[in-house]
Chains A and B, each alone.
Chain A
């Protein structure tokens, strides 16, 4: 795997017949050309561009956080910060919901964490049938560039586990860039927010987990003052 470098749309990343165009790229003649602004990565001749920016691309199975925008006769319309609407059907709630009681379950303005069941022409279908999904009651929501979410989570969740441990907060990271933080004290939540934003800003540095361990040591002292 070659070193990653920043590329811009129209830039030639590799030239050669046997290279394959992955996400964020296009093959023209024998050149692999970037069509997104991001970091170019090549692995076994497959070239792709990891975007540095851009809206969240919803995928089936993603956990997302959103706000209830509307209550319809058979479910809730949820804004998850995408151009398409997301919809939660009353059938996708872990208990029986009477058609007249929809607002008892979720009201306009409620924040929910849900999973994407399916994406089709109509929009995005959500479910809250699994453990850990549902309405969010206390805490705070922060918003980061969705392209940074993988780094905030870390390899096999290592980064987010570190942050949870050091800040003593419950944290749920939505793939759409919305993150829920809940601690016993607001100060703990703000500390977690600071850590997350720090990681999000430094997204593409290697050795970030070690750096964060140091960061927590330094900042823990500051916080306790």
Chain B
């Protein structure tokens, strides 16, 4: 049934409970819901992953194709990240041109991967100035129960790590779609994880579900690995004190280590 968004009464209760350091589903403020990561869920993709955080579910797929490089990076491959917040995943998404939320999600995940140089783009050059590989990461929401952003980030990493490069026909100068080499995409060793912390009233929480996310007043997404920060995005308008901001960074550093382990585990 269509939802009435979190009613103001319930919102008040949620905030009161946060003040006591508690959440309705029994989690602590810095605790994630159960994360399930599956790779290889779509066999025509170069790499793919299904990520579930609680009831939130996203699908991410990696596709590759050979094309000309950008004029200002003639010896590097390209990265293109797109996202679709599918209407099937929530009554609040409608069919039509991409909504802002979808555009922001793709750009935030893109920057996390790009700035950390996780994909070694120089190694994706076939012929300088003429032929390079483009890596496409396409993100789709399947069920939105809050925190699509983090789920998308985890999915992007998992699908990149499990992806194989397609065959390339040098003579024809074209990708051979549907046939793969045994080579993986050249990736850096350190995994940049994109995680978000939300502020509600005086409380800072990670991994909000749908009800909690609806009353979030501001959020900070940080892409980092082992304390090195590669990208930050603050979304929504409420201000943060510098002290709160540093608490956010601490929360993220702690969560990042756990999530990185989970991703590694799922790839075995």
Contacts and interface: CB of A to CB of B under 8 A. Distances in A.
Interface of A: 55-56, 66-67, 79, 81, 109-111, 136-143, 145-146, 177-178, 180, 186, 189-190, 193
Interface string B113-148: 000000000000000000000000000000000000
B4 A178 contact: yes
Interface string B1-35: 11110011110110011001000100000000000
Nearest to A177: B1
A138 B12 contact: yes
A141 B7 contact: yes
A141 B9 contact: yes
A67 B4 contact: yes
A5 B10 CA distance: 37
A56 B1 CA distance: 9
Contacts of A137: 9
A111 B1 contact: no
Contact of B4 (A55, A81, A140): A81
B28 to A, nearest CB: 15
Nearest to A79: B4
A55 B13 contact: no
A67 B9 CA distance: 10
A186 B13 contact: yes
Nearest to B7: A141
A217 to B, nearest CB: 20
Contacts of A141: 4, 7, 9-10
A110 B4 CA distance: 13
Given A145-B1, A186-B17, 14 more contacts: A56-B1, A81-B1, A111-B7, A138-B12, A139-B9, A139-B13, A140-B10, A140-B13, A141-B4, A143-B1, A186-B20, A189-B13, A190-B24, A193-B24
Interface of B: 1-4, 7-10, 12-13, 16-17, 20, 24
Given A186-B16, A186-B17, A190-B24, A140 B1 contact: no
B180 to A, nearest CB: 42
A53 to B, nearest CB: 8
9 contacts: A55-B1, A55-B2, A56-B1, A81-B1, A136-B9, A139-B13, A143-B3, A178-B4, A186-B13
Residue picked from B7, B8, B12, B20, most chain A C-beta under 10 Å: B7
B13 A81 contact: no
Which 4 A-B pairs have CB atoms at the shortest separation, nearest pair first? A141-B7, A140-B10, A140-B13, A141-B10
A56 B20 CA distance: 36
B27 to A, nearest CB: 13
B9 A111 contact: yes
Contacts of A136: 9
A81 B8 contact: no
Contacts of B13: 139-140, 186, 189
Contacts of A143: 1, 3-4
Contact of B7 (A55, A56, A67): A67
B99 to A, nearest CB: 22
Contacts of B8: 67, 109-111
A109 B10 CA distance: 12
B127 to A, nearest CB: 57
> Interface centre among B3, B13, B17, by most A CB within 10 Å?
B13
Contacts of A66: 4
A136 B51 CA distance: 39
A139 B9 CA distance: 6
B186 to A, nearest CB: 48
A86 B2 CA distance: 16
